[in-house]
Amino acid sequence: MPPKGTLAEAKDFAQRHGAWIAARLGRLPKAAPFQPGTVIPLRGTPHRIVHRAGTRGTVWTETRDSGEKILCVAGGLEHVDRRVSDFLKREARRDLQRSAEAYAGELGVRVKRLSIRDQSSRWGSCTSAGSLSFSWRLILAPPFVLDYLAAHEVAHLVEMNHSARFWRVCGKVCPSMERAKKWLDTYGNDLHRYGVED
């Protein structure tokens, strides 16, 4: 719904264009819950979730002799979803913290706080007080995409807008900026299907 639209207009649109909406929804990628057998892109590389019930530990990665990458999850089957979700959030925090601190050092600014959320409308945000917030789903994208988002939000600590100066600052520290923006435009929406039940 457009920002200035009303609920009544949205309902009217939905009633008049129901078939079109249904067709669009039918083309959306299918949900990929965090359950054994699901393949998820950890840092852009497909990993199949494998339940290791009798094994101690939580979540770790392995490579099979065939070359297939797997994400092993120990414990009860009922804990697989939460354990995978917690693992991905920890990995996202670690990678984003490392990238954000490197860019902050390069730009001479300070990140006061970094939080990980499940944002559906944006990949990251920055406050004037120096707090950065990111979607944990960035850990599913290739590293150059996560890295660009870290650079983007840290660049806001220099320039709190999307002016030409902001894009120069961001592009100076992140040479893969354009490539990452194209990747997000093409594949970014797909990342929202992971960890979701059908």
Q: Which pLDDT value is given to residue 30?
A: 82
Residues 47, 39 contacting (CB under 8 angstroms): yes
- Report, in angstroms and rounded to the nearest whole number, the Rg of the chain calculated over CA atoms: 19
CA distance 126 to 143: 20
Report which secondary-structure segment, H or E, holds 55: none
CB atoms within 10 A of CB 188: 18
Q: Which pLDDT value is given to residue 26?
A: 64
pTM of the model: 0.84
Strands of 59-63's sheet in order across? 39-42, 45-52, 69-74, 59-63
Residues 59, 87 contacting (CB under 8 angstroms): yes
- What lies within 8 Å, CB to CB, of 158 at 6+ separation is 107, 109, 166, 169
Per-residue pLDDT tens over the stretch 85-129:
999 999 999 999 999 999 999 999 999 999 999 877 789 999 989
Domains, the chain, in order of start with CATH, read: 1-28 (no CATH), 39-79 (no CATH), 83-193 (3.30.2010.10)
